[in-house]
Amino acid sequence: MRVAIGAVLNPTGGPARYAIELVRALGALEGDDVYLVCSNRPHDFAGMGPRVEVIEVPLPAAALEPVWDHVLLPRALRRRRVDLYHGIKGALPIALACPRVVTIHDLAIYACPETFAWQQHLHMRPHLRLAARQAAHVIADSAHARDDIARRLGIAPERITAVPLGVRADLFGAAAAPGDEGIARRFDLPPRYFLYTGTIQPRKNIDVVVRAYARLGGSSWPLLLAGRRRPDYDPEWLRRPPPGVRYLGAPSDDELAVLYRRAGVLVSPSSYEGFGLTALEAMASGCPVIGTAVTSIPEVVGEAALLLPRPDVGPLADAMQRVAGDDDLRTELARRGRARAATFTWGETARRTREVYRRVVTRG
């Protein structure tokens, strides 16, 4: 089986992590399947084994992503035999003469429309709906995402498979790595701190974290915020952080692993998640998690995190104070988190994804 994978990537974020780790794990599976990875960032897929072939398809500008999907990518595949195409970011080329599978990570653009710019609505809504209807099969990151896609886009549930994501145990683990101290010095990390990591955007409710932190009244733990900022999002609390709050920018993978390992607790009161990868990575790193019991988060964390019904300032401040002041609670949450995270592997994600490929190719 020869599978083409379309991976147009931003430098960081969940879809980039998904594409890179999925391809790495697919290439490591036993078998003779070949994967042709078409990407604007080919170096991200270098050295993934003899059965992974990387094809550079440049993306001139982010606004031209539809041109990449519908013109540049089909052109790159024109003279190559492909049994199946997998679009990993909610879009499929209109004219591609092979069965197609699409991964739709979430439908936040429908669930939280007010948190997206109008340009994103113009791009994402039609592409998601078109891809879901054209695909021979849809892959979702969670049971919640699967059900949301079926309901909002009118797709038959039997055409959607939930395939949970994984976590890299070699990167995100509780044991210190040789470069940890250097990274900790570079960020001037304190002994303990509250941490938020993920995209800096409205539906993540980072403003709620900042206001909850302010209620603690001069906690000895600072609040560190790390992640790629959405270009059109420029809140006052980020431009002029309150006392005790620091924005660290977008960390590399190695830096992110250290931030998790050194943190006292990850605070992530998101309103909507297709999966919840940051919570999983934090748990694997031995970092306790405070989150919200919404969308897919309970599926991911199980009983291993402290979940609030909603992202409200008062209850979040109480939870932060409780976890910061209770060493035994942090130890227990860290233990449960490590055990829970160990059940999510990229190898299993790849195996279940390949099962979808084979069902689709067999049906023709």
In which band, very low, low, confident or very high, does the pLDDT at 115 lie, cut at 50, 70 and 90? Answer: confident
The pTM of the full predicted model, rounded to 2 decimals, is: 0.93
User: What's residue 11's pLDDT?
Assistant: 62
User: What's residue 124's pLDDT?
Assistant: 82
User: What's residue 316's pLDDT?
Assistant: 97
> Tens digits of per-residue pLDDT, 191-208?
999 999 998 988 999 999
Question: Over the chain, what is the mean pLDDT?
Answer: 93
User: What's residue 212's pLDDT?
Assistant: 96
DSSP string, 267-282: EE--S--SS-HHHHHH
The single-letter code of the amino acid at 175 is: A
Nearest-angstrom CA–CA distance, 42 and 98:
23
Q: What is the mean pLDDT of residues 223-239?
A: 89
> Tens digits of per-residue pLDDT, 282-309?
999 999 999 999 999 999 999 999 999 9
User: What's residue 217's pLDDT?
Assistant: 82
**Ordered alpha helix ranges (H), the chain:** 14-28, 65-67, 73-77, 108-111, 118-134, 143-153, 180-187, 206-215, 236-239, 253-262, 277-284, 297-301, 313-324, 327-341, 346-363
Please say whether the beta carbons of 308 and 290 come within 8 A: yes
Report domain extents, the chain.
Answer: 2-166+345-363, 180-341
The class level of CATH for 2-166+345-363 reads alpha beta
Look at residue 338 and tell me whether its pLDDT is greater than 80: yes
In which band, very low, low, confident or very high, does the pLDDT at 48 lie, cut at 50, 70 and 90? Answer: very high
> Tens digits of per-residue pLDDT, 124-162?
888 899 999 999 999 999 999 999 999 999 999 999 999
Q: With respect to CATH, is domain 180-341 assigned 3.40.50.2000?
A: yes
In which band, very low, low, confident or very high, does the pLDDT at 40 lie, cut at 50, 70 and 90? Answer: very high
Nearest-angstrom CA–CA distance, 53 and 23:
10
In which band, very low, low, confident or very high, does the pLDDT at 210 lie, cut at 50, 70 and 90? Answer: very high
Portion of the chain with pLDDT greater than 90, in percent: 81
In which band, very low, low, confident or very high, does the pLDDT at 12 lie, cut at 50, 70 and 90? Answer: low
Q: What is the mean pLDDT of residues 35-52?
A: 94
H or E stretch covering 2? strand 2-7
Which phi and psi (to 5°) does residue 348 adopt? -70, -40
Residue matched to tokens 């039997």: 158
In which band, very low, low, confident or very high, does the pLDDT at 234 lie, cut at 50, 70 and 90? Answer: confident
Nearest 10 degrees: CA dihedral of 68, 230, 288, 339? 0
In which band, very low, low, confident or very high, does the pLDDT at 112 lie, cut at 50, 70 and 90? Answer: confident
Q: What is the mean pLDDT of residues 171-180?
A: 93
Look at residue 257 and tell me whether its pLDDT is greater than 70: yes
H or E stretch covering 292? strand 289-292
Q: What is the mean pLDDT of residues 256-278?
A: 96
DSSP assigned state of 200: B
User: What's residue 183's pLDDT?
Assistant: 97
Q: What is the mean pLDDT of residues 257-280?
A: 96
Please say whether the beta carbons of 19 and 88 come within 8 A: yes
User: What's residue 64's pLDDT?
Assistant: 85
The tokens of 349 are what? 């994600």
Please say whether the beta carbons of 295 and 279 come within 8 A: no
DSSP assigned state of 157: G
Nearest-angstrom CA–CA distance, 151 and 157:
9
